Structure 1
Amino acid sequence: MTELVPPPSTSGKGLLDRVEDALLPLINLVFLLLMFFIVAGQLSEQPLPELPGGAQSEQEQAPEADLIVKADGQWQVRGTTAKEQSLLSALPEPNPSEPLKLAADQSLTMADLEHLLQRLEDGGYTEVLLLTEPGA
């Protein structure tokens, strides 16, 4: 009886030789990638130049918020410091279609933020938008 499937062509090489021949291009590729990243990733003594509109220039300007809460707990409305008694009168009138924009410092405790949000809710603000810094 004749065989339906011909035996695999090994060209006279053993299994270990064929595996080595198949791995050689992969080893070359890994070596070239390693060399590329070594050359491309060399550290420089000079810092990178400041890009226009970079993160440092954005941090220097105040956020466009209706209410800014500083790290020391001060509340600022339109650049002026507001006391707890005059906070609601200094803010714009509550508008259900436009939320109040609130920018809080990252070191503000959750208890202080919760107290402020309760005060705003008592004043009629049902929608509050908490602004955050991107990529911080």
Structure 2
Amino acid sequence: MTALVPPPSTSGKGLLDRVEDALLPLINLVFLLLMFFIVAGQLTEQPLPKLPSSTQSKQEQAPEADLIVNADGQWKVRGATLTEASLLSQLPEPDSSNPLKIAAEQSLTMADLEQLLRLLEDGGYTDVLLLTEPGA
């Protein structure tokens, strides 16, 4: 009867020696890559060129918000301060292609913003954009 599995090749080396021989080219490759990045990444005396900052590319006019929220929680639409009862009637109709734009002051608490977002969600507004100012 013949064996279904051929006998292992016996080159006189053990399993550990064969694994070490297979890893040697990989170690050489990693070493060469390391040397390449050391040489290619030399620091130069020339500083990097300045990238354009957001202050240079400021828009002439800020985007117009449908609703402005002050830090004390006041809601303003077209300059008029509104209450919770009159807010939804003064805002534009909910439209999925044109989301409601909200501009909130930086010091507004998350609790006040969450209260406003819940009120808007109850009013049918599913898409809202929160306008922010770029950091200085």
**3-state DSSP class of the match of 2:32?**
helix
Change in Cα spacing, 1:83 to 1:94, as seen in structure 2 (3 Å) is closer
Change in Cα spacing, 1:126 to 1:39, as seen in structure 2 (3 Å) is farther
Q: Report % sequence identity.
A: 64
Query: What CA distance in whole angstroms lies between the structure 1 residues aligned with 2:117 and 2:3?
Result: 83
Query: What CA distance in whole angstroms lies between the structure 1 residues aligned with 2:56 and 2:123?
Result: 28
RMSD of the alignment, in Å?
Answer: 4.5
Is the Cα contact below 8 Å between 2:74 and 2:82 reproduced in 1? no
Structure 2 stretches of 5 or more lacking a match?
A: none
Query: What CA distance in whole angstroms lies between the structure 2 residues aligned with 1:34 and 1:63?
Result: 49
Structure 1 stretches of 5 or more lacking a match?
A: none
**3-state DSSP class of the match of 1:9?**
coil
TM-score, scaled relative to structure 1: 0.53
Query: Aligned AA for 2:81?
Result: E
Query: What CA distance in whole angstroms lies between the structure 1 residues aligned with 2:66 and 2:43?
Result: 44
Query: What CA distance in whole angstroms lies between the structure 1 residues aligned with 2:51 and 2:92?
Result: 41
Residue 59 of structure 1 deviates from its aligned partner by 8.8
Q: What is the number of residues matched between the two proteins?
A: 123
Change in Cα spacing, 1:33 to 1:114, as seen in structure 2 (3 Å) is same
Aligned position for 1:46: 47
TM-score, scaled relative to structure 2: 0.53
Is the Cα contact below 8 Å between 1:96 and 1:126 reproduced in 2? yes
